[in-house]
Structure 1
Amino acid sequence: MTQSPPGGTPPGAPRAPRDLRSNYEPGTSRWATRRAQWLALGLSDADMLKPKIAIVNTSSQLAICFSHLDSIAARVKRSIEAAGGIGFEVRTAAPSDFIHSAGHRGGYILSARDLITNDIEMQVEGAQLDGMICLASCDKTAPGQLMAAARLNIPTIIVACGYQASGSYRGRHCDIEDVFLAAGHLLSGGLSVDELTEMSASAVLSPGVCAGIGTANTMHLACEALGMALPGSTPVRANSEPMWRAVDAAGARIVEMVAEGLKPRDILTPAAFGNAVTAILSVSGSINSVKHLQAVAAESECGADVYRLFETLADGVPLLTAIRPNGETPIEDFEDAGGTRALMKQLEPLLDGRALTVTGRTVAANLAEAVVTDPEVIRTQENALGRRPTIVLIRGSLCPDVGIVKLAVADDRRLEFTGPAIVFESAQEALDGVKAGLIESGQVVVLRGLGVTGSPGMGMASALVFALDGAGLTGEVAVVTDGQLSGLVNKGIVVGEVSPEAAAGGPLGLVHDGDTISIDVPARTADLEVAPDELAERRAALGASPPVRPAEVGWLSVYQRLVRPLPEGAVLRPRRSAS
């Protein structure tokens, strides 16, 4: 055995195990300089040989959903150390839709997901740490963390950090999405500024994510259904005793996972994605989960086609619960009834029980002792609330790659719509159109230029949908957009996330005012009824004068150059050469 050089490992100190990538050879420059840094941080030579775990923290004082994460990171660090590891807290971007959508047409929202992934790669891969605990909070953190876990393929557990307590407004439940929806009614005079002010003061009463089954809670549920979060840990009240128990358990388990060599790509298999899609369909979760799970699948390189899974599984998965705003069930009741673990128990015949999880056991083993404490909140398949899919992927001449419709759980209105188009090139232009009374019953409102390259970063179209609702036009008009929609609630027939997007040459960019658009949700089609030769002429004319994209610098310019289409998960990859 080579003897340590003078000034190297102190006599009697343990040698670095070779099975930890974080342990460098004593005497090397990298070992010596890192040792100098870490001794100054208070670590001992013995500490430096232990499993080194990144605690990925998206803490921020800009949004309530992240405001409690520092205390969680400290608790995780203690639990890791108690289990024989060393925890290193690292920070990433912390995007909140309600805060960070103000700048650059909302371009920093979806794009921040991939910024989180690359933040994690830089810090964790650069330092060659051995595992990760990722603190998931608002919408983009969980998918960004899952993407990083799949890319780096080191032992990882996602810890859901809980949902916020909601309030009431004039005797009725009031949460952040109620405020968002109500703001859309202000344009039409259906609500006063004073009333909206009162609502906004009552909606959020604690740290944590939006309380409904929006994107954040959907993705927390998806983490558990994928096997990347501990069973029974989602959803959870922020700062509650169950949340703290899950935090402690994750800190202990991640050290074991490093020793076992259990990695994300052992877990993120096509079967796992099928389980996650099944769980999301059964709660009518956020449509944003489709592109997020596709991005995770792309990073895991497992070959799962998440868009196709949503299409093929939708008709066979019953709706087992109606969490607000899909129904009147508070998410607290869903948690108390057993949460994701109980939901999966009811879905067990539809799941692949052989899929591996972060526990080191299979889904079937994790569900063996699962209990549903309220079968009216989380129903059996035989007593399902409904069997019609509420997340519907559609195709057609207007969206040849894909479009997504989110239906209300109890929506019994007609699900076909044909009418003349009225076209808007920006969200603000569309809102101005609503305010000016330009939109009439029977029209199909086309809002384009909000796609991943057109924004860039994917703009939000929900404010238009809510403004139309406030104007009494829900059900009287349809909406087609390449932008993204609220993960919580939509109104009427809205075809979102149309792909190819207008800025990428999609047919949406060829629509003129007055063109007939036909949408048939049961048939899963959306068509532009314009003759092919006319469309060819329009395309040729558009080619001579392509749409002007926003001139971006910095992060959004990088995103615009590298982002792939939505059916590929909108991940960042160099475009293939034409040759």
Structure 2
Amino acid sequence: MAKPKIAIVNSSSQLATCYSHLDDIARAVKEAIAEAGGVGFEIRTVAPSDFIHSAGGRGGYILSARDLITHDIEAAVEGAQLDGMLTLASCDKTAPGQLMAAARLDLPTIVVGCGYQACGTFGGRPCDIEDVFLGAGHYAQGRIGLDELTGMSENAVAGPGVCAGMGTANSLHIACEALGMALPGSTPVLANSPRMWADVRTAGRRIVELVREDLRPRTLLTREAFENAVTAMLAVSASINSVKHLQAVAEEAQSGIDVYGMYERLADRVPLLAAVRPNGPHSIEEFEAAGGASGVLWQLRELLHTEALTATGRTLGEELAGRQPADPEVIRPGERPFGRRPTIVLVRGSLAPATGIVKLAVDEERPPSFTGPAKVYDSPQDALAGLRAGDAQPGHVLVLRGLGPKGTPGMGMASRPVFALDGAGLTGKVAVVTDGQLSGLVNKGVVVGEVSPEAADGGPLALVRDGDTISIDLTNRRVDLLVPDEELATRIPWTPSVDAERGWLSVYRRTVRPLQEGAVLTPRTLEEGTTNA
């Protein structure tokens, strides 16, 4: 009873390969905790996978499961009054959900990135999950056959772990290290590799010391730490999903930090030091071998707050000593970057008064602009049907609405129509504006995602009609609806049909906050006009 009692937060699941190795890791962690003089108690959470859980609820179970993870942890750890947590981060909602719980409970915590999956081959060339994503869009437009898509899907994943490439999972694992919440030098890592197992055991021993030292997350999750994380995300051309997830962690820490504002303020200061697939030529394996997150942070050290504490109890500056990248072509120095123009671009304007996000390609010489008539769809399925019917023509701006946190509810995925546009040969010829979320792996062409306020929350997207002119100016970072105010005043806003009257998605719809507040679940007060649900 006198020993530190540690929660081993495990999202193991047989539904998805990203989680299939976590039970073995949990056992190794428990042994390491015992060796260090603690007692480990394995607890379970929901285990969302985009590939599996997007089938139901119009895709709403994906983002909403992030918050379920946080609540699962709170109920188990706070209810049992455990002393600390070691969380096993795998697929892309686990790391932010676990960080949110750590920030909420403020118990000593270490996040362990449990690795990326090995890539396979198909047709004599490398094939990973990125290729399957795009292949699905090409199949939807008849550009490839079912046999080819099936062959890709059966060979793309050669082991457990998260999607290879700089998708949301690897991005968030790197962010955990930059925040000081993961052990230095531990991300990214190949799942089940000797290095992963060594990091797992080190973390198991360290969490017991962390509890005894009483080093808590809110001591680490400072404004300086968030700036370090945002700087790292910009430097590696991370997933745009990192923006809302880091904002959610800041909200749970009650820090008052505006992560969206950080991305805007730091965007033009941070050089692009890594170009990992699908953003560039290098594989995640090459990035890891070159030094991974620590290598990037070493190259960025003059732009970082190196006095920020890490989970080791030492400062970031102390931990970066001797971590110079092994390959300066994969992780480049600041004076010789892949680019100086940001690839994560926040936009505003009359169509996105709060914010919208664009992911630009690494090799684009200048930010593109696009102006054209709107073609409005109220669901991805309607958009796909319209594409098959030839409704979308070069010059159009596809508007996909009703996919925000409230509208889905749970935030729907808008990537399928984007991939279908690529399959139809319309990338760059047709733009997209949506309040939905986009894949952390693949974004193609001129696509403005996560527009806020969303249509279901009274945003301007609810007023757009077919034929309205939309202007996307990424040089000035604006997206505007070019319709006179007096005309808009006469329109009746579109409203979504409410499918979720009961159950988890109903709870989510009634309590979710806007994206610029991280889409966390904090019930609005009566003063804000929302009754008790």
Please name the residue that 1:31 is paired with.
none
Q: Give distance in 2, aligned partners of 1:494 and 1:463.
A: 12
Structure 2 residue 55 is the aligned partner of structure 1 residue 95: no
Query: Offset of 1:546 from its aligned partner?
Result: 4.2
Q: Normalised by the size of structure 1, how large is the TM-score?
A: 0.90
Amino acid across the alignment from 1:563: V
Amino acid across the alignment from 1:562: T
Given the alignment, which residue of 129, 149, 153 partners 1:176? 129
Please name the residue that 1:564 is paired with.
513
Structure 2 residue 431 is the aligned partner of structure 1 residue 478: yes
**Can you give the 5+ residue segments of structure 2 that lack an aligned partner in the other structure?**
529-533
Please name the residue that 1:429 is paired with.
382
Alignment of 1:235-250 (within 5 A): 235-250=188-203
Amino acid across the alignment from 2:155: S
Please name the residue that 1:532 is paired with.
485
Structure 2 residue 13 is the aligned partner of structure 1 residue 64: no
Aligned partners of 1:454 and 1:550 also within 8 Å: no
Q: Give distance in 2, aligned partners of 1:277 and 1:318.
A: 12
Say which one has the larger Rg. Answer: 1
Please name the residue that 1:28 is paired with.
none
Alignment of 1:260-299 (within 5 A): 260-299=213-252
Alignment of 1:219-234 (within 5 A): 219-234=172-187
Amino acid across the alignment from 2:185: G
Q: Give distance in 1, aligned partners of 2:518 and 2:73.
A: 19
After superposition, the CA RMSD in angstroms is 1.0
Cα deviations by residue, 1:12-62 (Å, 9 ceiling, x for unpaired) = xxxxxxxxxxxxxxxxxxxxxxxxxxxxxxxxxxxx221000000000000
Q: Give distance in 2, aligned partners of 1:529 and 1:126.
A: 53
Alignment of 1:45-56 (within 5 A): 48-56=1-9
SS of the residue 1:512 aligns to: coil
Q: Give distance in 2, aligned partners of 1:315 and 1:557.
A: 40
Please name the residue that 1:498 is paired with.
451
Q: Give distance in 1, aligned partners of 2:180 and 2:109.
A: 11
Please name the residue that 1:26 is paired with.
none
Query: Offset of 1:413 from its aligned partner?
Result: 6.9
Q: Give distance in 2, aligned partners of 1:358 and 1:547.
A: 45
SS of the residue 2:353 aligns to: coil
Cα deviations by residue, 1:223-270 (Å, 9 ceiling, x for unpaired) = 000000000000000001110111111111111111111000000001
Please name the residue that 2:531 is paired with.
none
Aligned partners of 2:409 and 2:500 also within 8 Å: no
Structure 2 residue 205 is the aligned partner of structure 1 residue 256: no
Given the alignment, which residue of 496, 500, 523 partners 1:551? 500
Q: Percent identity?
A: 68
Structure 2 residue 167 is the aligned partner of structure 1 residue 218: no
Query: Offset of 1:173 from its aligned partner?
Result: 1.8
Q: Give distance in 1, aligned partners of 2:281 and 2:367.
A: 23
Please name the residue that 1:456 is paired with.
409
Aligned partners of 2:455 and 2:495 also within 8 Å: no
Given the alignment, which residue of 114, 117, 120 partners 2:73? 120
Q: Give distance in 2, aligned partners of 1:346 and 1:418.
A: 39
Q: Give distance in 1, aligned partners of 2:360 and 2:476.
A: 14
Given the alignment, which residue of 279, 287, 301 partners 1:348? 301
Aligned partners of 1:270 and 1:303 also within 8 Å: no
Q: Give distance in 1, aligned partners of 2:254 and 2:221.
A: 9
Q: Normalised by the size of structure 2, how large is the TM-score?
A: 0.98
Please name the residue that 1:40 is paired with.
none
Given the alignment, which residue of 386, 398, 410 partners 2:351? 398
Q: Give distance in 1, aligned partners of 2:310 and 2:474.
A: 36
Q: Give distance in 2, aligned partners of 1:551 and 1:136.
A: 29
Query: Offset of 1:171 from its aligned partner?
Result: 2.4
Please name the residue that 1:195 is paired with.
148
Aligned partners of 1:130 and 1:154 also within 8 Å: yes
Q: Give distance in 2, aligned partners of 1:400 and 1:230.
A: 38
Q: Give distance in 2, aligned partners of 1:471 and 1:477.
A: 10
Aligned residues: 528
Amino acid across the alignment from 1:577: L
Given the alignment, which residue of 328, 335, 345 partners 2:281? 328
Amino acid across the alignment from 2:427: T
Change (3 A) 1:248 1:547: closer
Cα deviations by residue, 1:146-186 (Å, 9 ceiling, x for unpaired) = 00000000100000000000012222221112101111011
Please name the residue that 1:12 is paired with.
none
Change (3 A) 1:413 1:436: farther
Query: Offset of 1:368 from its aligned partner?
Result: 1.5
Aligned partners of 1:394 and 1:524 also within 8 Å: yes
Q: Give distance in 2, aligned partners of 1:386 and 1:170.
A: 33
Query: Offset of 1:304 from its aligned partner?
Result: 1.4
Query: Offset of 1:414 from its aligned partner?
Result: 6.1
SS of the residue 1:495 aligns to: strand
Q: Give distance in 2, aligned partners of 1:120 and 1:178.
A: 34
Q: Give distance in 2, aligned partners of 1:387 and 1:412.
A: 10
Please name the residue that 2:442 is paired with.
489
Given the alignment, which residue of 19, 34, 54 partners 1:81? 34
Please name the residue that 1:418 is paired with.
371
Query: Offset of 1:578 from its aligned partner?
Result: 3.6
Q: Give distance in 1, aligned partners of 2:250 and 2:367.
A: 35
